[in-house]
Copies of this chain bind each other. A is one copy, B any other.
Amino acid sequence: MINFTATYTDQYQLSMAQVYFENGQKEHPAVFDYYFRKLPFDGGYAIFSGLEDLLEILENLKFSEEDLAYLKDQNYSEAFLDYLKNFKFSGNIMAAKEGDVLFPNRPILQVEATIIEAQLIETILLNLLNFQTLIATKASRMRLVAKDSVLLEFGLRRAHGPGGYYASRAAIVGGFDGTSNVVAGKNFDIPVSGTMAHSFIQSYDDEITAFRAFSQVRPKDCVLLVDTYDTLKSGLPNAIKIGKEMEVLGEKLAGIRLDSGDLAYLARESRKMLDDAGLNYVKIAASNQLDEYVIKSLLEQNAPIDIFGVGTNLVTGDPDAALDGVYKLTASNGIPRLKISESLSKVTIPHKKQVYRLMNAKGELIGADAITMREEEEVSRIYDPQEILKSLPVKSYKTEVLLHLVMKNGKRTEESRSLKEIAAYSRERLDSLPMEYKRFDNPHIYKVGISKMLKKEREKLMKKYKK
């Protein structure tokens, strides 16, 4: 459906690659970290999404004939174009498990490859992971408040063009149950669903004729949209009539959908009318500019809504336009590298690294991840990378390794995980995170610290660069 070639990148990646190539640096190894600095939605965590898509794309990434012809016209040298003709990504990738809960300023993924290869995949990596992680996080917030209600993603029409394809996938990672997006449903094996549009009802001379037509052709997934004329005076009485007609035919009306007005009030009145008519099995779906706050409010009011259909606010990540994920060089040609800044929060952390999650003896999270040098065996204390006076003794805690080798020499090390598996894993990880990190207002800040060895290395490099 959506095919990526290696020109899905920023032009400067190619320019820099050419310089490395012509300068005899093309085999220089490099290490890059992917991480973000700020949690989206002023929340306490993010949900990692997009990794499977990225790995699949990287395994097959190359420049097409058309790409090479185009680049030739862009004044790249013959020798460099020859290199690009045979370009493939042959590096290693260490990554968090897709679906895991993430926190700022720790490596989510590390790329080890020749500097040209590492650079040429930067844009597509950021493009896919930043977006899906944003949307999976947004979806998970709705899942948190919706508890066991059904959540359906309906956002394709307001998504950012084909970005909607990945939004549908990320919504599932974050806890949604289905999508309206047929192509995403097909390619990612997501349950697809939908009801009917106002135009459908308007195209008939009256509402009940429209309802009846639908119920006869699609009796198995008949959810009637009841607000075209008047929800309680027309939509509900007509839906009830159809529900009764369906019973006679041995079918069951699946649901009604409310799409305007006061959803709490209308849901309660609709429930009453349906129950009074003996249609207590008919579900109530609601839509119309929903987000996590509206869903929370509706359920706090005990609105009897079984299914929430969420569109724009989910697939765009509104009010956050983007996750600020970055891709930073931490070693090249065997030498650790640092990006310095006047603000300690923007100084990178050098070297190949590992990340550990810390737990108490019962296996419960204590609220801290530790970043270490890749080969460090034991960490007794972690240090805040920004507040130099803050540290935490961690010797007594159990640890879980967070970065796994997912790609070796350009090949995936494991079978791809299904979306269902990733979503289930994410649910489990989010469940194990204490509630104070998940609340919407002023969530607890999860600690991310660096080992003493890493701290020393960073300080040494900072001194060197400051000279």
What residues of chain A have their CB less than 8 Å away from a CB belonging to chain B?
A: 1-5, 7-16, 18-19, 22-23, 25, 28, 30, 32, 66-67, 70, 74-75, 115, 119, 122-123, 126-128, 130-132, 154, 156-167, 180-183, 185-186, 192-200, 202-203, 205, 213-214, 216-218, 220-221, 228-229, 260, 312-313, 316-319, 321-324, 327-329, 332-333, 335, 337-341, 465
Asked if A214 and B19 sit within 8 Å, CB to CB, the answer is yes
Residues on B with C-beta less than 8 A from A198 are 328-329, 339
What 8 A-B pairs have minimum CB-CB distances, sorted nearest first?
A12-B194, A160-B163, A163-B163, A318-B321, A160-B160, A316-B321, A11-B194, A126-B157
A197 to B32, CA, bound (A): 13
Number of copies: 2
Decide if B18 touches A218 in the complex (CB within 8 Å): yes
**Docked complex Cα distance between A186 and B322 (Å):** 25
User: Complex formed: what's the CA distance from A193 to B327 in Å?
Assistant: 20
- Using A30-B203, A329-B202 as known contacts, say yes or no to A10 and B183 having CB atoms under 8 A apart: no
Query: Given A228-B339, A339-B228, A217–B19 Cβ distance below 8 Å?
Result: yes
Q: Which residues does chain B contribute within 8 Å of A13, judged by CB atoms?
A: 194, 197
Check A182 against B14 for contact (C-beta < 8 Å). Answer: yes
A435 to B340, CA, bound (A): 44
Contact residues in B for A221 (Cβ distance below 8 Å): 15
B19 and A158 within 8 A (CB)? no
Apart from A158-B323, A161-B167, A312-B322, 10 more pairs, CB < 8 Å: A4-B162, A5-B183, A10-B157, A28-B203, A119-B200, A123-B157, A159-B160, A160-B167, A198-B329, A318-B322
B203 touches A115 (CB 8 A): yes
Q: Looking at the complex, which one of B16, B74, B194 makes contact with A10 (CB distance below 8 Å)?
A: B194
A154 to B122, CA, bound (A): 14
Can you identify 29 A-B contacts, CB atoms within 8 angstroms? A1-B3, A1-B4, A2-B2, A9-B156, A9-B182, A10-B157, A10-B180, A10-B182, A10-B194, A11-B180, A11-B182, A11-B185, A15-B196, A16-B200, A18-B218, A19-B200, A19-B217, A23-B217, A70-B186, A122-B157, A126-B157, A127-B158, A158-B321, A158-B324, A160-B166, A161-B165, A203-B332, A203-B337, A317-B321
